[in-house]
A = this chain, B = another copy of it.
Amino acid sequence: MEVWPKRIMDIWFTEKQSPNMKLSLRIKNILLNKTTEFQDILVVETEEYGKIMVLDGAIQITEKDEFCYHEMMAHIPICAHSHPRRVLIIGGGDGGVLRECLKHPFIEEAILVDIDSEVVQASRDYFPHVSSGMNDPRATILNMDALTFIREHKHEFDIVIVDSTDPVDFAAGLFQSPFYTDVFEALRSEGIMIAQTESPFAEASLLKQAYKEMEKVFPIVSLCWGAMPTYPTGFWTYTVGSKTVTPEEPRNPAPLDCKYYTSRIHSNSFVLPPFLEALIELK
C-alpha cells in the first residue's frame, strides 16, 4: 500500500517557455515577488536549481547553471579581441556577465547599463556570487535606457555585450539593425559585440532575424552555441559581430576558474551542427 507523501512540499513555479511548452520547478520558498516600473521580478528557491531569478515569467538565472551562459557571453568576445580594455554590458543587471568580464586583469573598466535598478538590487540581495563583480572598482552600474546611453557614446568600447531579456517590450529594439548600428559606432576600431540570440529549436525565426540584422551592420558576423539547461530547449546561441578580427579563435587565455568556458570550447562553439548552419544560410 502506498503511503501518501505528506512531507513533500508540492508548490511549483512554472515558466511558459512558449505557448506550447512549460518548464516547472518545485519550490521551497518565495524570496521576492514584486512589480517594478519595468517588469515583474520573482526570486524563488527551487529544489533542482537553487535560487532562481525570473523576469516577466522568464527564468534569467539559476544558481546551478548561470555559469554556462555568463562565461560564454563574457569570454567569447573578450578572448577573441587582441587587447580589450573597456567593456559595455547592456542589460545583465544580475551582474553575472560583469563578474566574468572582471576576471580578466587587463579589463580596465566595465560599464553595465540596465534599465531596472531593482534587478540589480535583487541580485545584490539574493545572488551574492553572481553580483560579486559590482563591488569591483573597475565596475560602473548605470540604470537608464541602454538605447539612449549607447547613442551618446562613440568609439569608446572594445567590447559590447548585449545581455538582454527576450526581445519584447522595452527590449524589442535590441534585435534590430538600428540598434546594431549604434553598437557598431560605440565600438573602437577593433571592436566586437556579442548578443544572446535564443534557441534554434524554440525561436528559430528570432535567431535568424538577429543574425541577418547584424550582418547589415558588421563586416564579420559569426554564430556560436552552448548548453544552457534552464533556457528553453537547453541549446543556446550567441551571435558575434566584429569590425576587423575573426572571433573563432581566442587570442587571450581563459580565466582559470571557469566551469564551462575554455579556449577549446571557444573555438568549438563556432562549429555548428548542419541544421543550424542551414538555418542561418551560412552555406
Contacts and interface: CB of A to CB of B under 8 A. Distances in A.
Interface of A: 8, 12, 14, 18-26, 46-48, 64-65, 67-68, 199, 201-202, 225, 227-229, 233-235, 258-262, 264-265, 268, 271, 273-275
B260 A264 contact: no
Nearest to A260: B273
A21 B47 CA distance: 8
Contacts of A262: 271, 273-274
Contacts of A233: 65, 227, 229, 234
A118 to B, nearest CB: 27
Contacts of A24: 14, 21-24
Given A21-B23, A22-B24, A259-B275, 10 more contacts: A19-B26, A20-B25, A20-B48, A48-B202, A68-B273, A227-B233, A227-B234, A233-B234, A234-B235, A262-B274
Interface centre among A22, A202, A260, A265, by most B CB within 10 Å?
A22
Which 4 pairs between the two chains have the least Cβ-Cβ distance?
Answer: A234-B234, A20-B47, A229-B233, A268-B268
A23 B26 contact: no
26 contacts: A8-B19, A12-B22, A14-B24, A18-B48, A21-B23, A21-B24, A22-B24, A64-B201, A65-B201, A65-B233, A67-B275, A68-B273, A199-B229, A225-B227, A227-B234, A227-B273, A229-B235, A233-B234, A234-B234, A258-B274, A259-B275, A261-B273, A262-B271, A262-B273, A264-B271, A268-B271
